Amino acid sequence: MAPSATVATTALAADLVRQGRDVIPMSAGEPDFDTPDHIKQAGIRAIQDGQTKYTAPASGLIELKEAIARKLDRENGLHYDPSQIVITCGAKQVIFAAIVALVDPGDEVLLPAPLYVSYADQVKLMGGVPVIIPTEPDAFCLSPDQFRSALTPRSKLIIFNSPSNPTGGIYSRAQFQALAELIAEAGLFTITDEIYEHFIYGDEEHVSLAALHPGVADRCLTVNGFSKTFAMTGWRVGYGAGPEEWMSHIAKVQSQETTNTCTLSQHAAIAALEGPQDSVGTMRAAFKLRRNAIADGLNELDRVTCPRPKGAFYVFPNVSGLFGNTIADDVEFCRYLLEAAGVAAVPGTGFSAPGYVRFSYTLPDDRLSDAIDRIQTAVTAIQGS
Ligand SMILES: Cc1ncc(COP(=O)(O)O)c(C=O)c1O
């Protein structure tokens, strides 16, 4: 199992900053916005009220599970009893617990690529076999034919992430409907990671796969969390909802792994779901402008292609046109960018997409325009070499 490419790059950039270098961090997947005040106040109140013990059950506060069940019903057309929800230390942990609970050595897990860094390594840790399925750069979505060709008698699970980190790709209702029929027919388990559902910049709708087909819902874990939507990365709250049996195993794994996620964070998460939602729209509007600015800035560069991503908060340009004598691949490109321009980005190789680079554009506007200038200068320098 490899370390997380995004976490490793972010740590390297933080080291350089500690050494006094001016580094613009475009590697971490977290909003630069502060956690909204009413959520912070709920966390502070929880401390003051003495909500500083373990939660019982370890799978999460019942009040938060109920708030999540209402959210899934209201926003996603998913109807779960609170007993079918497990609250974890971020979405990353529920995905991990789900894989621990489900995947046996030799089981194949279908992973449309480019993909979120953790899926393949978590599968490998359990002795599973990640089956990476490259998708076409026009939309970065798995087609029914690609699904059929990847399927074998050992296939057990498929993981979707829409909107996608790193590509921003979004599955339409029709695309998911076609895949849902095939998944149900094949009897596969599914994880749908919907953590970027509120970061969609055009007319596309967010579709929850489990709402489309009962044969999928029976074996589907819907994953979401508070890190991105409510700028709460450090609070560590995520959750999964799914069929009773899988959820009971996930809860068991979690109880042996971390007990519960931070109690006061769970109280803050209730305020996030039940309180005012305007901060989400404010972030989305800011991110849309930034997405346009950086995609346009990158497209001005010869031999770099960067379609405007539809969602999430990353751009994912193809920089392979720049490879030659000076820079051999995306890993060297990111190293060069960090050293020459003081910009931290993540190589596409970490997302099973060599030749690409992921820039997170969750930066204040002036920092982002500084970053675009630096990237343009550094790229122009190698183009001339
Ligand atoms: C697709 C995806 N899933 C899950 C996570 C993990 O989020 P959390 O902070 O809730 O663990 C991330 C974080 O970058 C992500 O991009």
Expressed as residue numbers, the domain containing 12 is 5-35+278-383
43 Cβ below 6 A of ligand 1: no
CATH of the domain at 184: 3.40.640.10
C-alpha span between 76 and 272 (Å, rounded): 17
Q: Average pLDDT, stretch 122-137? A: 96
| Residue 8 pLDDT > 80 | no
pLDDT of residue 81: 98
Rounded distance from Cα 238 to ligand 1 centre (Å)? 9
State whether 364 and 225 are in the same domain: no
pLDDT of residue 334: 94
- More reliable by pLDDT, 14 or 363: 363
Is the CB of residue 165 below 6 angstroms from any atom belonging to ligand 1?
Answer: yes
Which of 253, 274, 295 is at the close of a domain?
A: 274
Residue identifier of the C-alpha nearest atom 13 of ligand 1: 29
pLDDT value of position 4: 73
Calculate how far, in angstroms, residue 382's C-alpha sits from the geometric centre of ligand 1. 33
pLDDT per residue as tens digits for the range 28-82: 899 999 999 999 999 999 999 999 999 989 999 999 999 999 999 999 999 999 9
- Would you say the CB of residue 116 lies under 6 angstroms from ligand 1? yes
- The total of structural domains in the chain comes to 2
Same domain, 260 and 368: no
Please identify, among 222, 244, 274, the residue that sits at the C-terminal boundary of a domain: 274
Residues 268, 284 share a domain: no
Q: 3-class DSSP state for residue 240? A: strand
- Cβ of residue 91 lying under 6 Å from some atom of ligand 1: yes
Q: Are 14 and 114 members of one domain?
A: no
Q: Is the CB of 193 under 6 A from ligand 1?
A: yes
pLDDT in tens, 152-203: 999 999 999 999 999 999 999 999 999 999 999 999 999 999 999 999 999 9
Q: Which amino acid is at 46?
A: A
Residue 65 CB coordination number (10 Å): 24
pTM, to two decimals: 0.96
- Which residues 6+ apart lie within 8 Å of 61 measured at CB? 55, 87, 263, 266, 267, 270
